Amino acid sequence: MDTLDKTEWDILIDGTGLHQSLLALALSRSTKRVLHVDSNDYYGGDEAALSLQDATAWVKQVGERGSQGLYSQASIQELTREASNTSPSLGFSRAYSLALAPQLIYTESKLLPYLVSSKTYRQLEFLAMGSWWVFSSGKPSDKHKGSDSHANAAATLMRIPTTREDVVFSDKSIDLRSKRAVMKVLRFFTDYENQQEIWEPFSSRPFSEFLNEQFKLPPSFHGLFFALTLSLEPPNKTYTSFALPRIARHLRSTGKLGAGFNSVIPKWGGLSEIAQVACRAGAVGGGVYVLAKGVKQITQITQADALKSKSTEAPSVESMEVTGDSNGRAAYTVDLDGGDIVSTEWLAGTKNISSSGVLSEKTISRAILIISSPLIDLFPTFAEGSPPPAGSVVVFPSESLPASGVNTPPVYLIIHASDTGECPAGQSVLYATTSGDQDLITAAIAQFTQSLTEAERPEIIWQLRYQQRVDVPPNSNAVDDDGKIITFSAFSADLAFDENVLDSVKAAWQKITGGQPQDFMVFEDRNPVGDDDEDE
């Protein structure tokens, strides 16, 4: 296609983030004419995976957008050769694939079956996430090689037990009485729905009060369970109704796809890889893809063919009712970057971040660090025959860091080994997140490195720091009053894949196609039996 100007489409999808890309995948077997554009020159949108060169350009872009974007205050620091002495230096730019969305995917997630039924799993490789560790700044008890605590004289990383076997046989840092208490709590979480009378009185109360009053669990063990919630809030704002389903999700996912692990990550850059594979399927299905071309202006075509201006860079609307025409006529003209004007019946994209009332001013702090160690001690093998872990989670609970208090937000470190394809061998990528400020991340990194053995202690050779605005209310998706514009919520701040993404994409697919829920992303093979399906 030489030009897009004056072309007509059934749907124009703006942006190649996960929402939009999964919608393109869902539409790839329909008869819809799909135009999929992105103002960026790379796939993935806010969930992109960046090379070092891409990251530098991204930081500049964030600065230019200012308060208009999801991200802000982005900066890069690189350790100079003089400072690093003999430490490993950075590899070439494309040796890195740094994920803006380093979310883990629990093995009970609905996303995995959809990737199978849509045949896209054939172009994806998933790696097992490994152990979860909780940091304690107290003086460690006696440790020895083979224990589940990784410590030096000043700090301790204790492996979080999630099964009876973990508690009884593996963890030597918990005394017998405490083991009984921990096992009692674990048993409750796996069947909490059927014990509503126990937890419902605590539903809107802090989770710590539930552990204290219902199970008499010592506060020193609360961090083990808070860690499994992946809550970015401090204990006084992490409520029982929020914590229970998330802990149950973690426990029920353990062992579902293999011994020991509970979650997976896509190789080569996290959710961005899923977005790219989904877009590839969309292209095979006849969709047209154009990068570095965004939406500038949208004009609605009324039934009387009068023009009603709806100028916006990313439309954001609130009504869920579909009232537009269903005769398939073009409902909008869209001005694209470069001067092309197209017409389309449907539009789909993310909401306007700068729209009044869409996002609060609340932000979270994030950092991506490349470190000069493979950190092999943090990736112990689960069991004989189990897949080697490629990731690990380290949690710093409230009060565990210097100058932090009981209501200080936790800090999460998601660590990816070089097996993920995100960095060269001998290095690791560390993703840090907190709802506090960057000083908390700095303190957590310092304590983390001090907790490692001298031989394993790494240097930070590159780091990217930035702030991310938080969607309030989260996961709100809408169709406008005219029924033809679908706006998805901004990228979730959650550290695990948000199942609401699938719900919103399915709802959009049904509105556009009129399809039945049971047919969503259920595809037959394109090629005859026995042929490699290279196009999905």
pLDDT digits 0-9 by tens, 184-199: 999 999 999 999 999 9
Q: At residue 139, does pLDDT exceed 70?
A: no
pLDDT digits 0-9 by tens, 391-406: 999 999 988 888 777 7
- Closest to 492 (Cα-Cα) out of 232, 162, 138: 232
Between these two residues, 3 and 365, which has the higher pLDDT value?
365
Q: At residue 279, does pLDDT exceed 80?
A: yes
Report which DSSP code applies to 94: G
Place 173 in a pLDDT band, splitting at 50, 70 and 90. Answer: low
Place 141 in a pLDDT band, splitting at 50, 70 and 90. Answer: very low
pLDDT digits 0-9 by tens, 15-44: 999 999 999 999 999 999 999 999 999 999
SS3 339: coil
- Integer Cα distance of 255 and 270 in angstroms: 21
- Integer Cα distance of 397 and 156 in angstroms: 13
CB atoms < 10 A from the CB of 354, how many?
A: 17
- Closest to 435 (Cα-Cα) out of 366, 355, 505: 366
What residues form DSSP beta bridges with 348?
13, 486
Backbone φ and ψ for 176, nearest 5 degrees, come out as -60, -45
Q: At residue 516, does pLDDT exceed 90?
A: yes
**Whole-number percent of the chain with pLDDT over 90:** 65
- Integer Cα distance of 473 and 360 in angstroms: 9
- Integer Cα distance of 385 and 259 in angstroms: 8
Q: Which of 41-55, 148-162, 405-419 has the lowest mean pLDDT?
A: 148-162
Residue 502 has which token pair? 């699938």
What residues form DSSP beta bridges with 417?
428
- Integer Cα distance of 494 and 230 in angstroms: 8
CB-based contact 122:536 (threshold 8 Å): yes
- Integer Cα distance of 514 and 502 in angstroms: 17
Q: Which of 332-336, 346-350, 383-387 has the lowest mean pLDDT?
A: 383-387
| pLDDT on residue 212 | 95
Q: At residue 71, does pLDDT exceed 80?
A: yes
Place 317 in a pLDDT band, splitting at 50, 70 and 90. Answer: very low
| pLDDT on residue 136 | 84
| pLDDT on residue 144 | 33
Domains of the chain are 8-61+269-358+473-519 (3.50.50.60), 163-253 (1.10.405.10)
Average pLDDT over residues 321-348: 78
Average pLDDT, the chain: 85
- Secondary structure string (H, E, C) spanning 193-219: HHHHHHHHHHCCCEHHHHHHHHHCCCH
pLDDT digits 0-9 by tens, 452-466: 877 777 899 999 999
Q: Which of 60-74, 94-108, 114-128, 474-488 has the lowest mean pLDDT?
A: 474-488
- Integer Cα distance of 378 and 394 in angstroms: 9
- Integer Cα distance of 67 and 189 in angstroms: 41
SS3 355: coil
| pLDDT on residue 33 | 96
| pLDDT on residue 174 | 73
**Whole-number percent of the chain with pLDDT over 70:** 82
| pLDDT on residue 354 | 38
Average pLDDT over residues 230-242: 96
| pLDDT on residue 146 | 40
Place 362 in a pLDDT band, splitting at 50, 70 and 90. Answer: confident
The model's pTM is 0.89
- Secondary structure string (H, E, C) spanning 129-192: EEEEEEEECCCCCCCCCCCCEEECCCCEEEECCCCHHHHHHHCCCCCHHHHHHHHHHHHHHCCH
Dihedral, CA of residue 63, residue 413, residue 458 and residue 453, to nearest 10 = 160
| pLDDT on residue 142 | 35
CB atoms < 10 A from the CB of 481, how many?
A: 14
pLDDT digits 0-9 by tens, 430-460: 999 999 999 999 999 999 998 887 777 789 9
